[in-house]
Amino acid sequence: MLFNSVEFALFFTAVVLIYFRLEHNHRIVFLLASSYFFYAWWRWEYAGLLIFSTILDYTVALLIHRTSSQGWKRVFLFFSLLGNLGMLFFFKYLGLFLRTMASLLGACGLDTDIPPVEVMMPWYVLPVGISFYTFQTMSYTIDVYRGAVQPTRNPIKVALFVCYFPQLIAGPVLRSAELMPQMDEHHPVDWDRIRLGLLLVFWGLIKKVCFADNLAPFVNQVYAAPETFSGLTLLFATYCFSFQIYFDFSGYSDIAIGLAQILGFNLILNFNRPYLASNITVFWRRWHMSLSRWLRDYLYISLGGNRKGKGRMYVNLMVTMLLGGLWHGASWTFVVWGGLHGLALMVHKMVRGEKAREHHSNPISIFLTFHFICLTWIFFRAEDIGSALSVLTGILTFQPGAGLDFTVPFLVFAFILGVQIFQERRGEIRGYVDSILRQSPYLAGGFFYTAVVLALIVFSRGEESFIYFQF
């Protein structure tokens, strides 16, 4: 059930109407049932994975809390990590592992006949959102192990934390301390919250439907056969993908935050104009902020962070970014993408030390950072390493070849760039819209929402899936 679908609009409308008519102590049960229904709409049998993670981490958290033995705490935490990461490996990385093993054995001259995992198990499919909810549920047991939070005895709260439907599929990745306490709060009908939530939802839909989806056909056509297109076309397609993935993913995050806000919940910000960052360190403070925070707090710091000398810090940075790249997808292209960002972070730390501050007045730094990010997106978008190198080589050598009609993507691209610059200098557009709606709620509101709905209808290319659903 996609956020940009009629089915979801009907589903969420029904959820809101029922939710606010229920007594407070029945609401989290209703939200839990709604979340399972939302996930089961895709494939009902895979809802069992959510239940497995919930039972595992609910039990482990209580066991960790009840024992005073540090050794047993580590054992219990190990079982939580083993269960969640084992599930993630089986459903997401088993195919990559088998392909890599077959390639290595073939390189050694051994005759191998390892069929693709899809042939061995025809039912095998990547569960939607598995990378997000496994990371989120693991953070709960790790926080209990570290003594950062107290475990709850209410399994309904843990279950809802794992599968809360607005952010279940693609984040933001939350911590239990950010969501569970809100389940105990009473959320009356608040029209100000609902109006602001609707603004976020519609802004996210505009990002997705009007911007990202209209850049996608151009990008798909060019990246499907990069060797046939000119270097200029390859470069422009790379620019287009940079904005496609940003508006696709940040659009999902805006919709998720807006939906939660309508229901009375606050989710954390996930994007903050990352392409206007003046260096790579600041970029990762602005891009997919909830994942960056997770990688920092649960992986980088666990590896030692910067506490064991500069050499170890650089190693920890690289390992974190390599694993962060692999988290995005079961392909070596994602590992290369993560490695390039890890290398850039290392170099920036070497040059700037720990003083990696923002420099708003340095357009050259912003320009260079943006273009480095765009070039690394090539490995993120390409089907394989060979295709990525073909795109990169074509751009750097000004490869001759075919061109495409740039009109539609160029207009979208130019409008997007203008929006980004306006927001950096004047603040979020939705803040201006909200002030207008406050002054004239009926006339301006009717005009605004009518215009948005018409724009979504006119520019829609169908119910296109979100890019991060495949991760």
Which residues are known to be catalytic?
A: 328
Gyration radius from the chain CA atoms: 23
CB 264 within 8 A of CB 193: yes
**Contact partners, residue 415, CB within 8 Å, separation at least 6:** 211
Tokens of 132: 């997000």
CB 116 within 8 A of CB 95: yes
Helices 155-163, 24-40: axis angle to 10 degrees equals 40
Query: Which residues partner with 402 through β-bridges?
Result: 229
Query: Which residues partner with 178 through β-bridges?
Result: none
Query: Alpha-carbon distance 302 to 143, whole Å?
Result: 12
Query: Alpha-carbon distance 262 to 264, whole Å?
Result: 5
DSSP character string of 300-338: ITTTTTTTT-HHHHHHHHHHHHHHHHHHH-SSHHHHHHH
Residues written for the chain: 471
Query: Which residues partner with 123 through β-bridges?
Result: none
Residue 136 sits at the vertex; the CA angle it makes with 43 and 338, to the nearest 5 degrees, is: 95
**Contact partners, residue 57, CB within 8 Å, separation at least 6:** 80, 84, 137, 138, 140, 141, 158, 162
Which amino acid is residue 298, in one-letter code? Y
